[in-house]
Amino acid sequence: MSSTETHDVVVIGAGVVGAACAYYASRAGLRVAVVDRGPVAGGTTGAGEGNLLVSDKAAGPELELALLSVRLWRELAAVLPPSVEYEPKGGVVVAPDEAALDALRRFAEGQRGAGVDAREVAADELGELEPHLAPWLAGGFHYPQDAQVQPARAAAHLLHTSACDRYLDEEAVAILTGADGTVRGVRTARRELSAPAVVNAAGTWGGHVAELAGTTLPVLPRRGFVLVTEPLPRVVRHKVYAADYIADVASGSAALQSSAVVEGTPAGPVLIGATRERVGFDRALSGEALRRLAAQAVALFPLLAHVRVMRAYHGFRPYLPDHLPAIGPDPRVPGLFHACGHEGAGIGLAPATGLLVTAALCGERPPLDPAPFAPDRFDDPAHRPTGADR
């Protein structure tokens, strides 16, 4: 093992959330090390679509975090290279019938009160936004604030820009603490990294990292599949999804759920998601999940029936039972900070998470109320996971 190296903070996790924490901490003048057992974006980030969404979030703490992140992503887009593929293309949420459209109206009304730009679109006007949409839809809502990035590239460039020390392909095997239980660093198989602060940005493995520090965080993996078509002209202009996607995101069910999310990319392929199911870390291909995605996408965009699917990929979203991430200091282990449990919203929420964590590291006033994201909230019986959530 090499000699101990000293930093102000060690971030465990080189996905986009860990990269954002490293970026903002470095900008605050902290010396940062990032540790990951694999490559940059080797976990959830590399399997993501790059969603930067406000449209799927109800009024509340997560939406506040998303609105802050939307502003921060715009700032980052000005300093990150074009290869990050930041696209402020907006989102379109569509309803199959009047009942679903009424539900969207109520949902949007609450969002508008929080600062979301949500514009109702009549059925006969949807074609102006998306010419290839199915004609049978009852209407929808346009969300101009929704955007997109290429997530793996975004993580890589945030890490590069932060000028942090990177220790990739090195698993954190221990979080070092003093006699009083205070964090003093991280051990990998190759070295010890001395630091008074450690950030748990390990995604679906956030619960394991918490255990290394002698505490708990009930993070569970939630598997999802994405289909990738052959390259096409830009036949899908926005991120388009069916209204039932919002309910799927908020659901705690472990069963397979699917709702069409369809979007074009600058490179040409159309991405088709999204499924959710809790099956542990089972990486087996699910034919049923892929069939559902294909059928639902064709129902929204009939021209896709004649388009080839080139590949499918899947990953695991880090799920917490109340659907809010854990962000900030852990009072049970002085010096331990968490930045995980964002489920499918981690790419979109990464900048605000990094800013919140950095404010806590520096003892500064946070940009929004961090209380709803308190890592120890699951010690309260009201937040404790039920049998269905385990």
Q: Distance between CA atoms of 272 and 308, rounded to whole angstroms? A: 12
Q: Distance between CA atoms of 231 and 310, rounded to whole angstroms? A: 9
Q: Dump pLDDT digits (tens) for 55-98.
A: 999 999 999 999 999 999 999 999 999 999 999 999 999 999 99
Which domain CATH number covers 301? Answer: 3.30.9.10
Q: What is the pLDDT of residue 390?
A: 45
Place of tokens 């936004």: 129
Give residue 300's domain range: 91-143+220-319
- Residue burial 94-109, b: 16+ Cβ < 10 Å; e: rest: bbbeeebbeebeebbe
Which domain CATH number covers 173? Answer: 3.50.50.60
Q: Is residue 54 part of a domain?
A: no
Q: Distance between CA atoms of 136 and 42, rounded to whole angstroms? A: 40
* pTM, 2 dp: 0.94
Q: Distance between CA atoms of 267 and 265, rounded to whole angstroms? A: 5
If asked whether residues 240 and 137 sit together in one domain, one would say yes
If asked whether residues 228 and 304 sit together in one domain, one would say yes
If asked whether residues 260 and 279 sit together in one domain, one would say yes
> Is the per-residue pLDDT at 33 higher than 70?
yes
The residue that leads in pLDDT, 387 or 187, is 187
> Is the per-residue pLDDT at 37 higher than 80?
yes
Q: What is the pLDDT of residue 55?
A: 96
If asked whether residues 226 and 299 sit together in one domain, one would say yes
Band (382; pLDDT cuts 50, 70, 90): low
If asked whether residues 169 and 97 sit together in one domain, one would say no
If asked whether residues 135 and 231 sit together in one domain, one would say yes
- Where is the domain boundary, 319, 345, 379? 319
Q: Is residue 83 part of a domain?
A: no
Q: Dump pLDDT digits (tens) for 191-241.
A: 999 999 999 999 999 999 999 999 999 999 999 999 999 999 999 999 999
Q: Let me know the angle formed at the C-alpha of 52 by 43 and 388, rounded to the nearest 5 degrees.
A: 60
> Is the per-residue pLDDT at 386 higher than 60?
no
Q: What is the pLDDT of residue 105?
A: 96
If asked whether residues 128 and 225 sit together in one domain, one would say yes
> Is the per-residue pLDDT at 298 higher than 80?
yes
If asked whether residues 262 and 303 sit together in one domain, one would say yes
Q: What is the pLDDT of residue 259?
A: 86
Q: What is the pLDDT of residue 254?
A: 78
Q: Dump pLDDT digits (tens) for 262-275.
A: 999 988 999 998 88
If asked whether residues 298 and 326 sit together in one domain, one would say no
> Is the per-residue pLDDT at 1 higher than 90?
no
Query: At 358, phi and psi to the nearest 5?
Result: -65, -40
> Is the per-residue pLDDT at 141 higher than 70?
yes
Q: Is residue 305 part of a domain?
A: yes
Q: Distance between CA atoms of 166 and 150, rounded to whole angstroms? A: 21
- Where is the domain boundary, 319, 343, 358? 319
Q: Is residue 255 part of a domain?
A: yes
Q: Is residue 161 part of a domain?
A: yes
Q: What is the pLDDT of residue 41?
A: 96
Average pLDDT over residues 249-260: 78
Band (387; pLDDT cuts 50, 70, 90): very low
SS3 309: strand
For residues 188 and 198, is the Cβ–Cβ distance under 8 A? no
Q: What is the pLDDT of residue 244?
A: 83
Band (328; pLDDT cuts 50, 70, 90): very high
Q: Is residue 175 part of a domain?
A: yes
- Express as a percent the part of the chain with pLDDT over 70: 95
Beta-strand pair 192-194/5-6: parallel
Tokens of 99: 């009942």
Q: What is the pLDDT of residue 260?
A: 86
If asked whether residues 138 and 17 sit together in one domain, one would say no
Q: Dump pLDDT digits (tens) for 301-322.
A: 999 999 999 999 999 999 999 9
Q: Is residue 78 part of a domain?
A: no
Q: Is residue 58 part of a domain?
A: no
If asked whether residues 251 and 120 sit together in one domain, one would say yes
- Where is the domain boundary, 291, 319, 347? 319
If asked whether residues 124 and 227 sit together in one domain, one would say yes
Domain total for the chain? Answer: 2
Q: What is the pLDDT of residue 250?
A: 63
